[in-house]
Amino acid sequence: SAVISQKPSRDICQRGTSLTIQCQVDSQVTMMFWYRQQPGQSLTLIATANQGSEATYESGFVIDKFPISRPNLTFSTLTVSNMSPEDSSIYLCSVGTEANYGYTFGSGTRLTVV
Amino acid sequence: EDQVTQSPEALRLQEGESSSLNCSYTVSGLRGLFWYRQDPGKGPEFLFTLYSAGEEKEKERLKATLTKKESFLHITAPKPEDSATYLCAVWGRNDYKLSFGAGTTVTVRA
């Protein structure tokens, strides 16, 4: 299965600033997803990162707050913009292919906004 | 909308005490049901995918089964290293995204 490198692994940020999280995969993948996991909660899908086109956002998430890029089939970024303490969460990148729908997750980015 | 309910929320076991976790789901056309293990501070680790009712899969002390309405994750003779949160997710016919349950946190005492 694909191996995902997600950076940074953790960060502490000031409110009002932005943080960009990177997701690098060791092979080409069809699907890339970004999830949020708030403390003590399960995973919530933020958006599907589409290669060559705008990301598809889930209800409650907007592009201005969570802009996503996917320039190729192995890389994506998620930016958390104008952060507030409510954005403190773990952000996870996930990938899948038609050959293997056992979606693989990165190790996550633990974000604390102060 | 796809829905996944996991029970119990938490499970405390003695080493060697077998038990089962439940994942009940409603989905429009199940394409796959996934089980993951998540350790604190880490991303979910894929365990199994089940595609059709009656299917079973095993890995070490874990066995996953699937019916038309629910899935069970059986833990046989657990060890302390089996302590983790176990997540269930479903993949429906309408798109590629997964819908996750809230998870069951398992603690195994030596």
Q: What tens digit of pLDDT does each residue of A27-68 get? A: 998 889 999 999 888 899 999 998 888 899 999 999 999 999
pLDDT band of A98, cuts 50, 70, 90: low
Distance CA A34, CA A26 (A): 17
Name the residue among B43, B49, B102 with its Cβ closest to that of A102.
B49
Name the residue among A6, A44, A103 with its Cβ closest to that of B34.
A103
Q: Please say whether the beta carbons of A4 and A23 come within 8 A.
A: yes
Q: What is the pLDDT at residue B28?
A: 86
Which H or E run includes B76? Answer: none
Q: Please say whether the beta carbons of B33 and B49 come within 8 A.
A: yes
- Cβ atoms < 10 Å from Cβ of B109: 11
Lowest mean pLDDT among A55-69, A70-84, A88-102, B76-90: A88-102
Q: What is the pLDDT at residue A20?
A: 98
Chain B closest CA to A105's CA: distance in Å?
6
Q: What is the pLDDT at residue B97?
A: 81
Listed as ranges, residues in chain B with pLDDT below 50 are none
Q: What is the mean pLDDT of residues A109-114?
A: 96
Distance CA B7, CA B12 (A): 13
